[in-house]
Amino acid sequence: MAPAPDFTLAIAIYGLAVFGVFAVLWIYSDRRDRALYEADRRKLSVHCIRCDRIYTVKIGIDTAPCPQCRHVNNRLKF
């Protein structure tokens, strides 16, 4: 009768491979979420003086048309 094969090393390598896949997915997801958060955070608030609406625009723009009435407004300064 042949001795049973030892799968301890194979199980350890498989476990490390699964852990590595989860670690890579976690890092990718974290970087993607951080990039999306930063893109959303870097916006300026603008108040329309004609229709009294507050909306956001990308950073670096000082004037922007209102999406509702198309009146050109300046950004809010705090």
The alpha helices in 42-63, defined as continuous H runs, are none
Domain ranges for the chain, please list them: 9-41, 43-78
Max Cα-Cα span within the chain: 91
pLDDT at 30 over 70: yes
* Cα–Cα distance for residue pair 66/74, rounded to 1 Å: 10
- Local confidence band at 54 (pLDDT 50, 70, 90 cut-offs): confident
Highest mean pLDDT among 21-25, 35-39, 58-62: 21-25
Task: Indicate the average pLDDT of the chain.
Answer: 87
pLDDT at 78 over 90: no
pTM exceeding the 0.85 threshold for the entire prediction:
no
